[in-house]
A and B are shown apart, each in its own frame.
Chain A
């Protein structure tokens, strides 16, 4: 039985609790236990990161140190958090001066990061810790060929040499799991492009344009849904379809990967929080 400490980040628990619940219930099906990280702080991604690299290092470093104290590796389910923890781990593991500075602050509350902790994104748990064979074996109610497109999330897969999650130019993990669950994975133009989420705090109009461009590329493939692996992306790809500037075309349901996989494993809809999805995913669930 494997154990990880779950770092939810700021966004998931408030804006996408169904994702958090689905992660827990689906991983439990495969014998993976998650312990919530208590007394955590924001990882500092993007905003604090933009104004002070050292403050960012301390905030992310503290999360690594908490996990080290718990003697567990970290599971991140949001691209921003997994990206910042992985890149900052890489930096702290290679920059003694910064590590010392961070540890000096952490020492005041009895914490220390020495490099022992690994940070994994959810996709790695599926691919490395569970494995495709075990997922295949666990499918009890396969989908019947429903056409779906995957969106991976920039910070989930890049920079490839540091995060080591998938092939950054041609990511495949979500696609593989769609197929294993009985769906049909469909490629589209600009698959590895950003959803526009990180632009929201700077220029919401541009963020919307970028997100809608992705939706239109996906729409061109006539798929029934979009499968995500990052809370931020999931929310953004949903919001651009229902916000003021949304097109009046049919909305394409967006689901996180564990929420999509759950029903195929025999998990009931309500524990996956399906009714909380803002674009009704019945088209996916019946396919």
Chain B
């Protein structure tokens, strides 16, 4: 195991923009200004290796340059698998997974959520978990055969409360 904490001594670099300052204030967005645009993230990224449209370094650059509208309405920040392969290698300790989460949070508040994501969120916030509809009698039998309990007992009250408080109306931080 290496260091317990990040080095925390990285410098800020220009350019910066009101958008990158906005990202900075979101949870997870704090390190964006440390990016030196070296490209190590793109070189490490499996998504970049299977599709030309996704280039994480470029996406960070767009944020630094303040291309707010373009970034928030694009599907690109949602293509990050948050696998964190890149951040283990980024010499500036920038976490792209967290920065893109911050971008998505802002995009979501402004109503830009990919359909696939919205569907899963709706399911989870209704049932309390993801796979209620997938839990068939066959699977119940398999669980029974394995000596596992069949009443999974998920709580769906809490998520409803959370949805009301933090997601609906879209504008609570």
Name A206's contact: one of B50, B125, B128, B166 (CB within 8 Å).
Answer: B50
Report the 6 A-B pairs with minimum CB-CB distance, sorted nearest first: A194-B83, A51-B108, A154-B83, A158-B84, A10-B130, A198-B81
CA distance A39 to B149 in the complex (A): 13
Q: Which of chain B's residues have a CB closer than 8 A to the CB of A49?
A: 101
Q: Which of chain A's residues have a CB closer than 8 A to the CB of B15?
A: none
CA distance A82 to B162 in the complex (A): 21
Q: Does A135 contact B (CB under 8 A)?
A: no
Q: Which of chain B's residues have a CB closer than 8 A to the CB of A261?
A: none
> Quick check: B50 and A213 within 8 Å, CB to CB?
yes
Q: Which of chain A's residues have a CB closer than 8 A to the CB of B153?
A: 38-40
Q: Which of chain B's residues have a CB closer than 8 A to the CB of A271?
A: 146-147
Q: How many residues of A contact B (CB 8 A)?
A: 63
Q: Does B47 contact A (CB under 8 A)?
A: yes
CA distance A105 to B143 in the complex (A): 34
- Please tell me which stretch of B16-24, B31-39, B57-65, B109-117 contacts chain A, meaning at least 4 of its Cβ atoms lie within 8 angstroms of it: B109-117
Q: Which of chain B's residues have a CB closer than 8 A to the CB of A91?
A: 27
> Quick check: B158 and A52 within 8 Å, CB to CB?
no
CA distance A196 to B26 in the complex (A): 27
Q: Does B11 contact A (CB under 8 A)?
A: no
CA distance A36 to B154 in the complex (A): 12
Q: How many residues of B contact A (CB 8 A)?
A: 67
Interface residues of chain A: helix, strand, loop or mixed (majority)? helix
Q: Which of chain B's residues have a CB closer than 8 A to the CB of A85?
A: none
Name A11's contact: one of B82, B121, B131 (CB within 8 Å).
Answer: B131
A196 to chain B, nearest CB (A): 7
Q: Which of chain A's residues have a CB closer than 8 A to the CB of B84?
A: 154-155, 158-159
> Quick check: B88 and A168 within 8 Å, CB to CB?
yes
Q: Does A20 contact B (CB under 8 A)?
A: yes
Name B1's contact: one of A18, A20, A160, A196 (CB within 8 Å).
Answer: A160
Q: Does A109 contact B (CB under 8 A)?
A: yes
> Quick check: B85 and A55 within 8 Å, CB to CB?
no
> Quick check: A201 and B81 within 8 Å, CB to CB?
no
CB-CB nearest in chain A for B44: A193
In B86-134, the 8 Å CB interface with A consists of 87-88, 95, 101-102, 104-105, 108, 113-114, 116-117, 120-121, 124-125, 128-131, 134
In the complex, per-residue mask of A186-220: 1 if CB is within 8 Å of any chain B CB, else 0? 00001011101111011100100110010000000
**CB-defined A-B contacts under 8 Å, sample of 11:** A10-B130, A13-B143, A17-B146, A20-B148, A41-B156, A41-B159, A42-B124, A159-B87, A167-B2, A193-B46, A201-B120
